[in-house]
Amino acid sequence: MKAAVIYGVKDVKIEEVNEPSVSKKDVKVKVSWAGICGSDLHAYHYGLGIPTEPNELTGVQAPLVLGHEFAGTVVEIGEDVTDVAVGDRVAIEPLIYPDDDVYVRQGRYNLANKFAFLGVQSNGGFAEYAVMNERMVHKLPENVSLEEGALIEPTAVALQAVRESQLKVGQTVVVFGVGPIGLLTIISAKTAGAAEIIAVDISNERLALAKEVGATITINSMEENPTEKILSLHEHGVDIAYEAAGAEITFNTALTVLKKRGQLMVIAAFGKPVSIDVTQHLMMKEINITASFSYCNIFPEVIHLIASGRMDVKKVITKKIALDDLVENGLELLEKDKSHAKILIDLN
């Protein structure tokens, strides 16, 4: 089968590999659509997360098949699989974790002390076929397309962050960074009842998309001062800030524009430590800073919200490409062209 295999930094090859086989609790999926994530970019451009020796959970090391946001149709099941049948249309929850972990036993498997992802520390979905454990597979209703299915994983990241925040119906929020996760956070906040959503970014194209998916106000921080603009609209600050940019400047701006007892929800990963004025921005305002990592027990809710029409996630798709074009028109393009949001790979 054809697959996108990563060997190391800036080294992804589209090549023929052996089709994976199933064991007793496994499901084989014919992949239809797969999304390119920021972690795929970090793996390709910097080698982040890609194991150079066998991973302690999966036993896999590079070279391996990239891709953890994907959906497709079940074509084969192991003999002990009970909840999935051949022909089912499914989205994949790619998190791998040990059953005996203390946090897994508490139901918070995203916080497992050891974890891995399909497509990062094990073979993933940038391929014609992928195999995974039955518990990773979520069936899609007929009115949810496989394209939407490929967006369920990043939507789960955003929806969990909103659900774990203190957002109440009618409140005002600001989202810093409107890449795919920021855009999906806007959609999630709107679904959760935010009355006003301010989007901050440096790309006018992404800000236009943010307006389309539910932002009520957009601010290009290269053209105007977001602190001055937000505080001119809300003298005492906003209720909640979602940090989806992963930069010190946006982190501190978020603290500045929050009202007293407001909340900063961190969604993005940061490449280096952040310095903050604890007394001025944190203690004296009694700001609550929290974070959300990945997701757990939320895929069914995401699927239901999409199926019901309450979340239109298709709007974040800005380009569709063939697997053969992954490097040039996907991994390279997304690094230099910040006007794009989600690029999907067509594996039909």
Per residue in 295-307, pLDDT (tens digit) is 999 999 999 999 9
Question: Which domains are delineated in the chain?
Answer: 2-153+295-346 (3.90.180.10), 166-291 (3.40.50.720)
Give Cα separations from 129 to 223, 276, 346 (angstroms).
Answer: 46, 46, 13
Under a CB-based contact definition with an 8 Å cutoff, are residues 216 and 197 in contact?
yes
pLDDT bucket at 45, cuts 50 / 70 / 90: very high
pLDDT for res 199: 98
pLDDT for res 281: 86
CA torsion through residues 228, 210, 222, 37, sign: positive
User: Does the pLDDT at position 239 exceed 90?
Assistant: yes
pTM: 0.96
Per residue in 126-175, pLDDT (tens digit) is 999 999 999 999 999 999 999 999 999 999 999 999 999 999 999 999 99
Q: How many residues are listed for the chain in this entry?
A: 348
Q: What number of other Cβ atoms are within 10 A of residue 201's Cβ?
A: 28
pLDDT for res 339: 85
pLDDT for res 307: 97
How many Å apart are CA 336 and CA 333, to the nearest integer?
A: 6
How many Å apart are CA 193 and CA 187, to the nearest integer?
A: 10
pLDDT bucket at 336, cuts 50 / 70 / 90: confident
DSSP code at position 296: S
Residue spans of alpha helices (H) in 273-338: 299-307, 326, 332-336
The overall average pLDDT reported for the chain is 96
Give Cα separations from 111 to 115, 267, 293 (angstroms).
Answer: 8, 15, 8
Per residue in 202-223, pLDDT (tens digit) is 999 999 999 999 999 999 999 9
Residue 288, beta-bridge partner list = 263
